[in-house]
A and B are shown apart, each in its own frame.
Chain A
Amino acid sequence: MQEVAVIGVGMHRFGKTGDDIVGTKSVGSLCRTAVDAALKDAGVNWKQIQAVAAASSRFSGGKGWGLNGNDVVEDLGSTGIPVYNMSAGCAAGGNAFNVGYSMVAGGVYDMMLVVGGEVMPKGMIQTSGVEEATDPEFLRQRCIGMPGPSFWSTLARRRMFEYGTTEEQFSQVAVKARKCSVHNPMARFQKEITVEDVMNSPYVSNPLRLFQICPVSNGAAAAIICSKEYAKKFTSKPITVASSTVATMTFNDMLPRGLADPMTECANLHTEAQNAVANAFEKSGIGPGDVSFTELQDNTCYYELAFPEEWGLCEAGESESLLMAGETTPTGRMPINPSGGFVSFGEATTAMGVFQIAELTWQLRGQAGGRQVPDAKVGLAQTLGLGGNATAAILKR
């Protein structure tokens, strides 16, 4: 295994179809901007890229949306290089990063591009549109009608029941996130909001309100990775990938992804994420106490409270007090989502795992401006995809 480094990252600012940021740009156009920025950041030209790991959402087929990595290569110049299209729902970006990482680590390629991007359909994310009784997602929507926000709301309500979490505390997570986003030129939302603003936003699915849930966005992110040895040609300060993992849920998981799940003694609701993060810690020899900051998948503010506890970053039931004491801000003891997170960016599904790699890289280089985590040495990233799959990555300087 060779050590792997990130030598360049880039993004297209996130926005909403029709706005001044992304307008009517295609997913190809968004990706081209992100890739060009990453190439420039790395000091690499397109012809030096030997292969592409692309986060693809074409599994959602038939709806005319989704990224196909081959199209990105065509747009940048059809060099004939291999493209690996990874489809893993919201975990696709993290999956693509892991495939790129694994191939460079294994010596198959010296340098690869990892890219994800999306032009999202409006509204709540829909299923494939194929009415097939063997598709658990179709069954859940037809027989019950439980889109993402309602799924997250059951988790939030359970936390309120178990820990006494208040709606104001969920709101405080959003307030903290937006405060970071003011300093992130790539975020879709860059204005501060107050707890009152959040509490005045309508319920999307009680108990979760509009500002506590990430909307869908258009955006793209790219990273250039290479072997640490090869990186010396381009930079004296590469960011090292300490570990990159992919995991699925384990049998004892207690969160029904479809209609029902067998009950076990296990209390964990997100074993796929826990497995990915635990494996990332184990493979890197880095522990929760060594993490300078974390970029986690906050589709809803609930996750910012639950995940740090499930991964051992803090004690069970401690998240609310850390939040209220300001310890999850960039200058706190346990900084979470200094980028502003999904709540400030919105979710451009396949871009998110790569967006996190970009933020980790900027933070570890000390280039994060007003949202900088002081003296950031180790960053943890995590994604979670529909169907019980997750990814994690640990980067260090």
Chain B
Amino acid sequence: MSESGLPCVEGLFSAEDGVATLHGSKCTGCNTPYFPRSEACHNPDCTGSNIVDFDFGGSGTLWSYSVADFPPPPPHKFDKPFAPYAIGVVDMECGLRLIGQMVDKAEDVKVDAKVELVIDTLYHEDDVAYSSWKFKQI
């Protein structure tokens, strides 16, 4: 984490000792992970639907990415002047295909690259840094 601050949305993730942890859930019946937490299992072949908390982090492979060349409309928040950023779709080792901003510059991002989860600043408001999870190419 580049600076101390607050998460952009409470309860979704945390960063301790520099390690990014996302707080999801998992069905113990069929082992399906969810993020954010799901209250029920979405697998129609799973009769258990026994959901427990599931924390994950770690690394994955970049399935694809795009670039936000224009500022997205609210409720997105960003520091001005707007700087284009890359958005990654990552196949995580924990079994989730997860979306997040990339820390890397758009021109450096490559499909199929190995990436890891980090927590990084998303925007500032009233001198407070608000953070989110992002991907960083390894």
Contact = CB atoms under 8 A, between A and B. Distances in A.
Asked if A pairs with B, the answer is yes
Nearest to B134: A144
A204 B71 CA distance: 10
Contact of B111 (A155, A158, A256): A158
Interface in A202-229: 202-208
Contact of A133 (B11, B24, B42, B78): B11
A129 B74 CA distance: 8
A166 to B, nearest CB: 15
Interface residues of A, number: 46
B75 A251 contact: no
Given A142-B75, A154-B89, A260 B8 contact: no
B57 to A, nearest CB: 13
Contact of A144 (B42, B43, B74, B100): B100
B89 A254 contact: no
Contact of A145 (B12, B44, B78, B95): B78
A369 interface: no
A157 B32 CA distance: 27
B73 A147 contact: yes
Given A161-B111, A263-B95, A146 B68 contact: yes
A144 B133 CA distance: 8
Give the interface residue-count category, chain B: 35 or more
A144 B101 contact: yes
B96 A260 contact: yes
Contact of B98 (A161, A208, A259): A259
B111 A142 contact: no
A262 B87 contact: no
Contacts of B67: 150, 153, 203, 205-206
A141 B75 contact: yes
Contacts of B24: 260
B95 A262 contact: yes
A251 B38 CA distance: 14
Interface of A: 123-124, 126-127, 129, 131, 133, 136, 138-147, 149-158, 161, 202-208, 250-251, 254, 256, 258-263
21 contacts: A123-B73, A124-B72, A141-B76, A142-B8, A144-B99, A144-B101, A145-B76, A145-B85, A146-B99, A147-B73, A150-B67, A152-B66, A158-B64, A204-B70, A205-B69, A205-B70, A206-B69, A251-B44, A261-B97, A262-B42, A263-B95
